[in-house]
Amino acid sequence: MAFVLVLSTGVYCALADDDPAPASFKLDFENGNKGVASPSGDAILSVVEKSFEGSGSKSLYVSGRTKDYDAADVPLSALGAVVGDTLKIRVLGYVDTDADVPDGSLITVTLPNDYAYNGTVNLVKGQAFVIEATKEITNENSKNVRIQTNSAGATVPFYIDSIEIDVVKPGDESEETDSGEAPDPGAGESFDYAYDFEDDTLGAVVKGGNPTFTVVSKTFDGSGSKSLYVSGRTKDYDAADVPLSALGAVVGDTLKIRVLGYVDSDAEVPEGSQITVTVPDDYGYNGTVNLVKGQAFVIEATKKITN
């Protein structure tokens, strides 16, 4: 599957705070109730005794699934969130050791009627998962935050231990959005590594696989005047890499990553095309978003180096 994309304003990486401030909204299931969580599609939601690493003693079990959108919803009204607000979302969950998990099964957060995947990670039997995503509400018809799978994982039952959401109002100085506007590395949030291609060089960026790299004059919403054009792609891992050695990052460190990019309006973009961040040899998907011709994309992800 081939497609064309442009990367601009590079990759921003920083050591993340291991003790973030408490979220403004947190839903767990320790009292035995589902709270404001509701099923979408034909999902069955039940609170069960279930504990795993990092969890409490009870979890929401999402079962009876046959479609990707057989899922768990949290209404935006319960958050007091409206169009223009930005949601910072964290979901802790688990998949049973005896679950049937087809290859390519992923779990993600969507905002119907938006449906772009946010914070997507792999589903692995017998393992916990953490979804972390930052998403601006742009569609007035979006009514819920949805924890769902992709089509490959449509039949996989899963547990949710907790859902934490911060609502950031427009104008908040701490706001981090996926609006396509890159933060100024010299103001506000500080990044240990920040790179664009304004000097016509690749900097620390190297090839993953066998793509063609070209620094070109390309501007779009939020970009500078130059971008890295990644073309000649025939495999998913024909990509752009940033060596961890260039960041001074080692096992145990946490990377906070932001990528601003663009897909040409005349690019061939097969249905279901997405772009993500991985840390080989881990390969969990992080901050996955849809590729749409003629549109910018922003990947935002937080990833701990474990391998």
Q: Residue 296's pLDDT band (boundaries 50, 70, 90)?
A: confident
What's the whole-model pTM score? Answer: 0.61
Percent of the chain whose pLDDT exceeds 90: 47
* CA dist 103 → 97, 100, 122, 178, 302 (Å): 15, 10, 10, 29, 24
d(CA 122, CA 21) in angstroms, rounded, equals 26
d(CA 231, CA 13) in angstroms, rounded, equals 24
Read off the pLDDT of each residue in 23-43 and give the average, rounded to a whole number: 93
CB 250 within 8 A of CB 1: no
Read off the pLDDT of each residue in 44-72 and give the average, rounded to a whole number: 96
Q: Kindly tell me if the per-residue pLDDT of 194 is higher than 80.
A: no
What's 206's DSSP letter? E
pLDDT number for residue 298: 83
Q: Kindly tell me if the per-residue pLDDT of 206 is higher than 80.
A: yes
What is the number of other CB atoms lying within 10 angstroms of the CB of residue 19? Answer: 4
pLDDT number for residue 283: 62
pLDDT digits (tens, 9 = 90+) for 147-190: 999 999 999 999 999 999 999 888 774 444 344 443 333 334 44
